[in-house]
A = this chain, B = another copy of it.
Amino acid sequence: MADLDLPQGPEPTYDKIVAGYHTFHYAHDFELEWGGTLPGFDIAWESWGEPNAAFDNVVLVHTGLSASSHAHSQPDNPNPGWWEGFIGPGAAIDTDRYWVLCTNLIGGCYGSTGPSSPNPNTGEPWATDFPIVTVKDMIRAQLLMLDHLGVKRLHASVGASLGGMQSLMVAALAPERVDRIASISACMRSYPQAIALRFMQRQAVMKDADWNEGRYYGRSFPHRGMKVARGIGTITYRSGPEWQKRFGRTREEGVPRLDADFQVESYLAHQGEKFCLQYDANSYLYISKAMDLFDLEPENGLGGPTINDIQCPSLVIGVTSDILFPVRQQRELAEALRKAGSEVSYLEIDAPYGHDTFLIERETVGDAVKAHLERES
Interface residues of A in 32-86 (CB under 8 A from B): 34-35
> With a CB–CB cut-off of 8 A, which chain B residues contact A193?
235, 239-240, 243-244, 264
Query: What residues of B have a CB within 8 angstroms of the CB of A208 in the complex?
Result: 207
A260 close to chain B: CB less than 8 A: yes
In Å, the complex CA distance between A199 and B251 comes to 13
- State the CA gap A287–B61 with chains docked (Å): 46
Query: Which residues of chain B are within 8 angstroms of A35 by Cβ–Cβ distance?
Result: 255
Chain B's closest residue to A246 (CB) is: B192
Instruction: Report A263-290 residues with CB < 8 Å from chain B CB.
Output: 263-265, 268-269, 285-286, 289
Is A6 part of the contact surface with B, judged by Cβ < 8 Å? Answer: no
Main secondary structure of the interface of A (DSSP, over half): helix
Give min CB distance, A233 to chain B, whole Å: 10
A283-322: contact bitstring with B at CB < 8 Å (1 yes, 0 no)?
Answer: 0011001001101000010000000000000000000000
CB pair B289–A258 under 8 Å, yes or no, is yes
Given contacts A196-B268, A326-B240, contact A203 B190 (CB under 8 A): no
In the assembled complex, A106 has its CB within 8 A of some CB on chain B: no
Closest to A128 in B: B258
A248 engages B203 (CB within 8 Å): no
- How many whole Å from A36's CB to the nearest CB in chain B? 8
A262 engages B128 (CB within 8 Å) = no
- Residues 243-260 of A at the B interface (beta carbon under 8 Å): 243-244, 246-249, 255-256, 258-260
Residues of B within 8 A of A100 (CB): none
User: Inside 8 A of A202's CB, which chain B residues have their CB?
Assistant: 258-259
Flag whether A227 is at the interface (Cβ < 8 A).
Answer: yes
When distances are taken between beta carbons in the complex, the residues of chain B under 8 Å from A227 are: 203, 207
Beta-carbon contact of A228 and B203 below 8 Å: yes
- A231/B262 in contact, CB under 8 A: no
Residues of B within 8 A of A262 (CB): 192, 195, 199, 292
A170 to chain B minimum Cβ distance, whole angstroms, is: 22
Verify if A191 is at the interface (C-beta below 8 Å from B). yes
Given contacts A196-B265, A265-B196, contact A255 B34 (CB under 8 A): yes
CB distance from A95 to the nearest CB of B (A): 37
* The one of B192, B209, B240, B260 that contacts A192, using a Cβ cutoff of 8 Å: B240
B-facing mask of A202-235, CB < 8 A → 1, else 0? 1110111100000000000000110110011001
- A200 contacts partner chain B, Cβ-Cβ < 8 Å: yes
Interface centre among A256, A295, A300, A323 (most CB of B within 10 A): A256
Please tell me if the beta carbons of A207 and B191 are within 8 angstroms of each other in the complex. Answer: no
Q: How far is the CA of A255 from the CA of B354 in the complex (A)?
A: 33
Cα–Cα, bound, A264→B198 (Å): 11
Q: Is A19 interfacial (CB-CB < 8 Å)?
A: no
The answer to whether A256 touches B293 (Cβ under 8 A) is: yes
- Taking a contact as CB atoms under 8 Å apart, the answer to whether B132 and A192 are in contact is no
Tell me which residues across on chain B come within 8 A of A190, comparing CB atoms: 249
The 10 A-B pairs of least Cβ separation, nearest first, read: A193-B240, A192-B243, A207-B224, A192-B264, A199-B265, A200-B231, A192-B247, A34-B255, A204-B228, A132-B256
Other than A34-B256, A203-B227, give 4 A-B pairs with Cβ distance below 8 A.
A192-B246, A196-B243, A196-B268, A258-B286
List, sorted by A's number, 14 A–B pairs whose CB atoms are closer than 8 Å: A190-B249, A192-B262, A193-B240, A193-B244, A195-B262, A196-B231, A196-B243, A200-B228, A200-B268, A204-B228, A207-B208, A207-B225, A232-B232, A262-B292
